[in-house]
Structure 1
Amino acid sequence: MKALFEVLIVSFKLGCTSFGGPIAHLGYFHNEYIKRRRWLDERSYADLVALAQFLPGPASSQVGIGIGLLRAGWLGGVAAWIGFTLPSVILLLLFALFMQGFDLGTSGWIHGLKIVAVAIVAQAVLSMGQKLTPDRNRVTIAILAAAVTLLWQTAVSQLFVLVVGGGIGYFWYRQKSGATIHSLTVPISRGAGAVCLSLFFIFLVGLPILRHSYEADWLALIESFYRSGSLVFGGGHVVLPLLEREVVPTGWISKADFLTGYGAAQAVPGPLFTIAAYLGAMINGVKGAILAIVAIFLPAFLLMAGTLPYWNTLRQHEKVQGALIGVNAAVVGILLAALYNPLWLSAVDSSRDFVLGLLLFGMLVYWKLPPWIVVLVGAAGGELLTLL
């Protein structure tokens, strides 16, 4: 019970302070779960990130769910999801109900939070790069991964980079990985994992059939959001066009309202998938928000719980270890690419922005200040920049 409560509290704190999108979230997670609390070793965390990158859905939320599952079992996974998503769900629900005409997109503090995200990802690139790319071969994989990710920006490019990185690692390191792999205690049996994977596919195939067989608004909403959450590779930003095609042409909400929700989702912490709370509330109030948020995150939970027992066994094999070395190096490259685009390009517009980002980076890396302090300083700094 103590571990479960600890997972809920820590994930809730992260849900209140994790701005900047999935890549930035992984940096926050690394700082809190690995460096500060040491719930996992560096290699296990990198392997969990690699697994989440391979699976469809919100990668950062899946990493958080995986850590919760490993730390406190089934309820730990649920607690990690609730804690991380609840702050942004509440904010977006309130926004949908009471603040539909308020423009957040030009606020100075939002610009400051974008610079915070740059500092967070830069810290993650530095920290993970030192541990996961210690030799020339792995640095080469990371550089190539960053180049391909930047030059070929599609929904499947990251998956392609991870597969190729794993293939290179398989041939270069399959017999000389030399790494000590700490076995993870996964409180989920393979049978339970198989049930979760079966349920994922049953819902994916069965919900569309039910939707066309029974005309019910609540069933149509669940099916739309579950399918959107099941078929997204590449993170939260990729789900937005999918959701727009689901809710705008059907007449559930207008395009203007959808874009307003997109702006609000950028301004709140936590996963971008929580825009489902805003959309659901616009469609059918609080009930719609609850149905939409559960439906869009359910595939992520089922996939992580279903694959984790098998993943823990696979990663022990020497050949798989070699492939994971390559995958982890590619993850560093993807982080590096994300640091430039979209984070740097969307946040750093002037020398003043760079100075603020440098200050925040120093606060994180060298002064070792808690991330929530860095978030507050970043928001205040962004507001101050608008006055200069």
Structure 2
Amino acid sequence: MKKILALAAVAALTAGVSAYAANPFSDVTPSDWAYQAVVDLSEQGVVEGYPDGTFKGERNITRYEMAQIIARMLAKEDQLNAEQRATLDKLAGEYADELANLGVRVSNLEKKVGNIYWSGDARMRYQSKSLDQKDGWNGRIRINVKGQVNDSTYVQGRFLNEMDFKGNDTSSTSMDQLYVNHNFGKDVSVRLGRQPISFGDQAGWLNNGHDGYDGGQIAYNNGKLSLATGYGQFNSTFGDFAYDANDNNKSDFYFARGAYDFNFAKLGVDYIAYQDKHNVVEEGKINAAGDKAKVNFEGTKPELFGVNLNIPVQQFNVFGEYWKNTTAPSALEDTAWNAGLSYGAANWKKPGTWDLSVAYNSVGNGVYLGATGWQTNILDAVANAKQLKFWNAMGDVTLAKNVQLHAEYAFAADADQGADPDDAWTVSLNYKF
């Protein structure tokens, strides 16, 4: 059905192709690899041609015309052999934007083999750390695989490998995500398995995009309003409170969240309810190492509420977030908040685009969930302080298509009832494929 719709879209658009003669698409010359690839496919009887039905492999054509040729081949992809299909997938990837303008959904066909789709990212990162920790020089690669079961169901997995370049770390590869997603119509979906999760709207104290949970969720999204609720258990260090005496992140929890786009602003709300108690490090108890002793001081079942707001103003974005742990013991700081300003947007496909943001953060030890999307180690100080206040600046610039430089700087930190951490910074090269 999708291929029939795609063909219909091409036919409708090609009927008036003369009106697009002045379209500013750049020319594809006979010396371009894509042009040669189409010539080769034409000689194999695969190419049906462009608007007039014949392919003239002797003059320049526009990228728009090339996209029409590719769309026609996509409509009969199941008739191609493996080599022809691989060539077509590469062409579809090169002309994805033009195909999208034609209404043809290519779904990253350059990364598709049958019903399997591959994608990934890699990072090379240097970290100048605070808290007397050694500087870091490390790498990470993540490979995503998506299996399209049918029009409504897919299975998603992710392989992860992290490596320390400064030590003798041989590293190991693991699968940190594996879940199934089923769509009910276009707005409702159900997901089961080990899956990613994030809360709030900034990559700080409740959103790291790396760890997740084992469980299920049901979600609704109509483009303006999004709602989700689920139940499960956090995995890795995400969900392990900084104050927890037993490092008990393997707690069942349920959550609910929602967001609405008002066009002039976007508002989000979150709720997290733990089903197990998290014990607290008892004040005044010092062990032989001079650190606070981890003792069984009875805690509570954490219950957190959060709200976040983004207000775009031309190229700027004003953002803020507030969280509260409503069941935190009195010995803990039960709130966290931040406010900041960003400018620009680094587009992975557009070299030279960039963004920059700066924010002030106040993070209580009764709220921080023990994992962060920030790449400095500044938040490690929360484990030995009641509250940490600091500034954070970060920026991205797209150096080439699918290549970005990222940098962060955390500074002017003030720890309540703890040692103030030094400034920390990091820089990394990031790649998508």
Q: TM-score, normalised by structure 1?
A: 0.21
Q: Which is helix-richer, 1 or 2?
A: 1
